[in-house]
Amino acid sequence: MSTVLLILNVLGSVSLFLYGMKVMSEGVQRSAGGQLQMFLNKMTRNPYSGAFAGTLFTGALQSSSIVSVLTLSFVNAGLLNLRRAFSVIVGANIGTVIKLWLIIGLGSVWHIESLALPMIAVAVTFLFFRNQKAKEWANFFIGLALIFVGFYFLNQFFPDFSNQEFFNQYIQKYGSSNTYTSSLLFVLIGILITFLFHSSSAFIVLAAVLVSKGMNVEHAAMMVLGANIGTTSAALIASIVGNRASKIVAWFHFFLNLAGVVLFFFLVPVSLNWLKENVSSDGEILLVSFHTLFNIVSALLILPFLNSIADWAEAKYLDQSKDQSSLKLIARPFGPTAKMYVYEANREIVKFAGITRQIITNLGRMISESDEEKLKELRKRIFTLEKESDELEKSILDYLNSIYNFEMSGEVALNIHRLIEICHHLENIGDLALKIASIHRERRKNNSFITPRLRELLQDLQDSLSLATTNLVQNLNETQGKVDLLEARQIEKSIDKKFDKAEDALLKAIESEKLSARSALYYTELIQNYELIGDHLYQANKALGK
């Protein structure tokens, strides 16, 4: 076989392996994205449970790079604090070994590639089902089968180095003495190639194949150390567009792995000898065992100090930070999916609705406030909140529009449309609130009078709007998707009835000449705008329940 064809076959095998990772990871993200996020928040209450969660999370997504960047994204959106994120990162390092043991450990005693075609045959049938989740899990198993096939071809096409002249030269030059210089060279090779692959698992599989073909296992172990540094590159690059907290998490990941590499750099021969005596003398198993030992020891050494490190980082870099970054899209390796981002956007819309609730509360205080200075302060507060909500709306809409570049199911596309519609309703509420605040200002400037009865009915409308806003916030916080529109509908009917009652009372006040024409006009505008706000709140709830 020609050298060019050999290289292309090897590259094709690695590419098949990476594509299998992409397909499998996306299948999990689409089928269990929301559950994985809720699982992380429940499990990261202390460093040890957080590390365990990170291990399982990585085992599910089959890539520590993906998990580290997802963690950055959660931190960037305010879904995880530093303590929780650090523990997930530690667990992600351990989780990388799960796939390696499945592929290399199991493959060494049983030809797992023989499962690939039967697995694809069964999984493909589920692609024709109408159930979307069944299709997503089918993609997961097809991706896993492609990984097995890629590993099989990698073993088949890599030549046996023991019969190659350059390998004998390699043995003469590096095999007899493992100097620090030569060891450092292999660490750098591991960093570089992992940076190019964006996957430490793929590179370690490649290193294991090299060992099976005759490479010095100590040099392969040095490349594994380099791979653990190189795998942090994905998070470091992704953190560039994130806020300060996400950058802290990315650099923690880098320094955690760097510290582990510095420690094990001098312990590679001792570690390999111990593993040969207690685990296996097989080169591939030995390499995976070394990778496992590296990550477990690194985790055990850092976990007792994790909270202290997180507190120190927060005090030093976050307490004095005025980093108010808007919601930003953090890129993820191996083809991100839209479903994982919708949860973050929903979180920001909850914040948007919270600002809307504050605006409506301040409007209510303007009804009965008689002090002119306090009224000015309330108007100023409403204008400030409305400006803040406008900026937040722009950030959310830009974010949601960018998600459309990713692959998504019809359900996810519908969810994005729902969130965009809710944003528009909340933005309209802010505009109406500004009108109401201006009407109150004009009314006071012209000494406009309204009767106690009309004021009471206006306050009733205000109370119903407050209930409707609280109901919307509760529905947005509903993580199980069980939005109850019954209460929202009842509040909307109540607002309509109160509006009709206020209109009737206004007409009676005009007929009895208790109200001037100008005062009647101001009051009409007030209740009409209140009724419009009620409509927008109901429509926002309705969009959520579609």
Cβ atoms of residues 340 and 33 within 8 Å: yes
pLDDT tens, position by position, 305-340: 999 999 899 888 876 544 545 556 565 554 556 666
Name the more confident of 268 and 114: 268
Contact 207, 223 (CB under 8 A): yes
What one-character DSSP code corresponds to residue 314?
I
d(CA 341, CA 44): 20
The beta strand positions in 76-228, using DSSP E, are: none
* Residue 245 near residue 210, CB atoms below 8 Å: no
Asked if residues 219 and 174 have their Cβ atoms less than 8 Å apart, the reply is yes
| Mean local confidence (pLDDT), 518-543 | 91
CA angle 280, 283, 284 (to 5 degrees): 95
Which amino acid appears at position 157 of this protein? F
- At 409 the pLDDT is 66
In three-state secondary structure terms, 399 is helix
Give the pLDDT confidence of 83-102 residue by residue, as tens digits: 888 999 999 888 888 877 77
Q: Which segment of 195-209, 378-392, 408-422, 433-447 scores lowest on mean pLDDT?
A: 195-209
Q: How far from each other are the two terminal CA atoms of the chain, in whole angstroms?
A: 60
Whole-angstrom distance, CA of residue 59 vs CA of residue 409: 24
Residue 210 pLDDT: 77
334/24 Cα distance (integer angstroms): 10
The encoded tokens of residue 413 equal 């596309």
Asked if 160 and 142 touch (Cβ cutoff 8 Å), the reply is: no
- Per-residue pLDDT tens over the stretch 442-454: 888 888 878 888 9
> What's the angle, vertex CA 357, arms to CA 351 and CA 360, rounded to 5?
150
Residue 350 has pLDDT above 60, yes or no: yes
Residue 222 tokens, joined = 């040095």
For 481-523, how does the pLDDT look when each residue is reduced to its tens digit (9 = 90+)? Answer: 567 788 889 999 999 999 999 999 988 888 887 778 888 899 9
Is the confidence at residue 256, as pLDDT, over 50?
A: yes
Query: What CA–CA distance (Å, rounded) separates 340 from 336?
Result: 8
| Contact present, 327 and 397 (Cβ < 8 Å) | no
d(CA 433, CA 529): 8
**Domains in the chain and their CATH numbers?**
3-160+181-306 (no CATH), 339-544 (1.20.58.220)
